[in-house]
Amino acid sequence: MRKNILLASLVFLTAALTLAMPVICQAGANEEKPTHLNLIPLPVKVESKTGVFKLRSSTRLISDEAYREIAELFAAMIKKPTGYSLVRSGHGKDGIHFNINRTYNKLIGEEGYVLDVKPYGVSIQANKPAGLFYGIQTLMQLLPGAIESSGKTANKNWDIPCVKITDYPRFGWRGLMLDVSRHFFPKELVKKYINQLAKYKMNVFHWHLTDDQGWRIEIKSLPKLTSIGAWRAPRMGLWWSRKPQGADEVASYGGYYTQEEVKEIVAYASKRFVTILPEIDVPGHSLAALTAYPELSCTGGPFSVNVGNNFPDKKENALCPGNEQSFEFMDKVIGEVAALFPGRYIHIGGDECDKAVWKDCPKCKKRMEVEKLKTVEELQSYFIKRMEKMVQAKGKKLMGWDEILEGGLAPEATVMSWRGMKGGIDAAKMNHHVVMTPTDNCYLDLYQGDPAVEPPTYSMLTLRNCYNFDPVPKEVLNPALILGGQGCLWTESVPSYRHAEYMTWPRAFALAEALWSPKEQKNWENFILRMEGNMVRYDFSNINYARSIYDPVIRPVKDSVNKTFQIALDTELKNLDVYYTFDGTYPDKFSAAYKAPLSIPTGADLFRVLTYRNGKMVGRMISVNIKELEKRLEK
């Protein structure tokens, strides 16, 4: 996985939290009974009213010239499924109005909006254009799911229920990260990923551009980074078990983004109010760079781009901090990256740096002597602090993984905490800003269902654990230092874009809600209803997603009486019926129903289980060897 971890223990959820149902829709005295709306993330306040607004080919989009792009973006979003070519107008009473408040509404802030749907017209009001954009996303979710179709549909009733929605985000940083180093995704797929996260009101796209397995961004002053560092020998099979690249093997797998493509993607994201956070991961995770420029290493190489093979005992994949050329190299990289990305931050990684080679490196020893550094952790801190000065000189602010705390935190660095929340808590205590992305809630490359039916990866992150994410732990005394959070999709085990979608959705629905919606309104059962409504929308748009939430969770438990183990079964959703067999046959709703932990019959070697809801099969059938379950118990 991202982090160079082999197999972690499989952790399964065993308990369901019961939360009080929040008031989602509030009805006035003369209004109809509240209706269920499949809105994600859950808005702050929804008031249901009588009637519908009928979207027609004659509907006008009414906005000032300054907000033409937002109105036209909405027109483009609905053109293919409806066949309508809506026209923008500067004046009019009927239609869909896009209005910026003349008097600032403190309640909704910079990204909030008020959406008012009436039978004769729709109004979206906001303080800033971003609010208008998020109002559009809610308006799209109020339309029938067929609005997400890629072509014209037979649907003739594009009705929008009459509601008034007042909405604004809980956090300013609401992100998703995509790792394109382990597997390269062309620019059109990157745009697609950005478009999807923006639809759910996420506003940061963290782009992991460099690592041991590939350098993905053109740096014109350092052409070998992409002519050499962007390519590796093609491989399949489990990560960390692959055969290393041979000396005469052609490096043909990979790719990179030209600077013109980067500019195109940045402009695309900007129109959707998404800031791109570029990550150049140093000083560790730099094998692709060292393959291109081996003189930046401690030993001089030679190197080859990692293909997913395990590293040798004496691992070397870090820039040499004792070598001044490393800083000259990074100054060129940071300079060109800063010019391409208008966002405030540049992420420099700083994680998982194997420092063993530094201990034996004469150049590193000399640097430590001159700078009066006692440990290699302080040497890494020296490197990061120089990176911060470099980043600041380019008009940006440095961000790094929580390892940048080791040896001393750079004076103005922002910490992205992944190894739980401790790094973020420690940084906040030092009055530094923090973005939370703990593995236990936010690492989207982990199993989301039983490993027996999921593509291979490691550890476990269920949908419910994503939904339970709260970026502000009680230990943080100043919550304002927590900028927000994000999900991270590392792609060691994600070889295709379709699988990237599968791993992202619906878990990113849960994270979007955790980062936007009021904490006190979170409700698991209601979220599931809305999630299923959005799954229907994804069926129309042909976007892949996981249905693992419907699968049973298999948990072996010790049986102290018989000195063996039993099989306990859980489900993340309520109202699922679980049926099983031990005799090798396929279970159905006429098989034995699960009631309590199961003792294993003598001679049984295969366990099969599936789920039904309302008499229909909803989950996948899972077949697990009894010996495999026993191995899980040992972990």
- What are the residues whose beta carbons fall under 8 Å from the beta carbon of 296, sequence distance 6 or more? 286, 289, 290, 319, 320, 323, 325, 326, 329
Judging by beta carbons within 10 Å of its beta carbon (0-12, 13-18, 19+), is residue 597 exposed, middle or buried? middle
8-state DSSP, 295 = G
Q: Are 598 and 566 in contact (CB under 8 A)?
A: yes
CB 138 within 8 A of CB 165: yes
Angle value at C-alpha 344, between 343 and 350, nearest 5 degrees: 105
CB 256 within 8 A of CB 215: yes
Pull the structure tokens for residue 151. Answer: 């072509």
CA–chain centroid gap for 20, Å, is 28
Residue 336: CB partners within 8 Å, gap ≥ 6? 219, 220, 221, 259
Amino acid in position 144? P
Active site residues: 352
Nearest to 73 by CA among 236, 195, 225: 195
Q: Which of 341, 485, 338 is nearest to 416 (CA)?
A: 485
d(CA 478, CA 433): 10
- Identify the CA nearest to 139 among candidates 78, 64, 88, 192: 78
CA distance 249 to 244: 10
Q: Under a CB-based contact definition with an 8 Å cutoff, are residues 22 and 521 in contact?
A: yes
**Structural contact between residues 200 and 194, judged by C-beta atoms closer than 8 angstroms:** no
Give just the sign of the alpha carbon dihedral 306, 308, 309, 311.
positive
Between β-strands 210-211 and 214-215, what pairing exists: parallel, antiparallel or unpaired?
Answer: antiparallel
Total residue length of the chain: 635
